[in-house]
Structure 1
Amino acid sequence: MAPSLTARAFPLVSPRLISGAKNHRLLSVRCHSGSPGSGGDDNGAPPVVRAVVSAITELLRALSPSKKTRWQAVESVNTELELSHSVEDVVALLEADYARAYFLTGNFTLGIYTEDCLFEDPTIKFRGRSRYSRNLDLLVPFFDSPSLQLESIDKGLRLDTNFVIATWTLRTYLRLPWRPLIAIRGNTTYDLDEEYKIVRHAESWDVSALEAIGQLFVPAPRQTGI
């Protein structure tokens, strides 16, 4: 999702996270909400990347079972119970979300995001926590033997904006005939408003957008017991 804004602040962010400012953004199909013109922004991505991501998203949308019932259940959760009152509260809630592997399960704390939270990736950006949840749900049925490892999580201050930055490693096979392996190490920056709600969720990773998408087309080696 767009260039990293991980300026050093109090407390200091690890130098290896600052290097993430040069990274590209996480595989955009996870946050893609539809075709161009659906309220997003191409975010300066190469046309070939946008075209491939759009095609993959529509294919997954066609193949994926309906998630309407689950989303309605999530929407009915009393988000007042999920309010955070400090940066430390946000860190604790995010740690719980990572423990639930929210990238891979779609199970995250809805109430710590503003309704119009901005989500960014290398090819698209859009607003809306409900849209983000639906996009996660779109991918969940295709994950096979997934894992999400939280490596570190830190808080910081950029000008007058509090933020949290998490470094993670994601690994999963996809339930496609050739069973590709997606393996990415990246970080996510969460910008907070004055009420300690997340207003921007921006991801970066250690491979280029083309390399990340290329993983989708490489058959995984056959391994016994997987």
Structure 2
Amino acid sequence: MEEFTDFAPACQKAAEQVIETLWADLPTLFEKDITYDIYTSDILFKDPVNQFKGKFNYRIIFWTLRFHGRLFFTELFFDLHDVKPVAPEQIRADWTVRGTLRLPWQTRLFFNGFSIYRLTPEGQIYEHIDTWDRSPGEILRQFLPAKSSAGS
């Protein structure tokens, strides 16, 4: 387990619990719901295409991910590489999303990213910011069939 020297003493135990919960929840987020008691009621979520505030909207994001995952993919994975404290009251999760689209040409989706979770002094997540390794347009272009080489 990582050292939590940057966390306020009151937040340290809660931060450890948040990290354990993220390790348990994130790898299966396309299959089942996550635990919401580690988030504040006014949680802010932001990624390269969306920004939402409030736990109800946060729940909708994860429901939508599962729904679209089942609808558009034959397989979809959230590979969690690391979850660790990176600054006072801040946790980082590094991950990869990969899957196979439910299309005749079976396009593969793949992108890396990381999530920054900011914690209140009590140890609840009040902000979740996702960063991707490529633009949303580049990710969407993965849905298109691969161009065949000349003469094929």
TM-score bucket of the superposed structures, by smaller chain: 0.7 to 0.9
CA distance in 2 between partners of 1:220 and 1:90 (Å): 44
> Counterpart of 1:204?
131
- Residue number among 77, 83, 93 corresponding to 1:147 in the alignment: 77
Q: Is the 8 A contact 1:10 1:157 kept in 2?
A: no
- Equivalent residue pairs, number: 136
CA distance in 1 between partners of 2:66 and 2:78 (Å): 16
> Counterpart of 1:108?
34
Over the aligned positions, Cα root-mean-square deviation in angstroms equals: 2.6
TM-score for the superposition, normalised by structure 2: 0.76
The answer to which structure has the higher strand fraction is 2
- Residue number among 25, 33, 58 corresponding to 1:97 in the alignment: 25
> Counterpart of 2:45?
119
Q: Is the 8 A contact 1:105 1:136 kept in 2?
A: no
- CA shift at 1:180, angstroms? 2.2
Q: Residues 220 and 125 from structure 1, CA distance in 2 versus in 1: closer, same or farther, beyond 3 angstroms?
A: farther
Stretches of structure 1 lacking an aligned partner (at least 5 in a row): 1-8, 12-83, 222-226
Q: Is the 8 A contact 2:92 2:114 kept in 1?
A: yes
Stretches of structure 2 lacking an aligned partner (at least 5 in a row): 7-11
Identity of aligned residues (%): 29
The answer to which structure has the higher helix fraction is 1
Higher relative contact order (CA 8 A, sep 6+): 1
- Deviation sequence 1:22-70 (CA, Å, 0-9, x none): xxxxxxxxxxxxxxxxxxxxxxxxxxxxxxxxxxxxxxxxxxxxxxxxx
TM-score for the superposition, normalised by structure 1: 0.53
> Counterpart of 2:62?
133
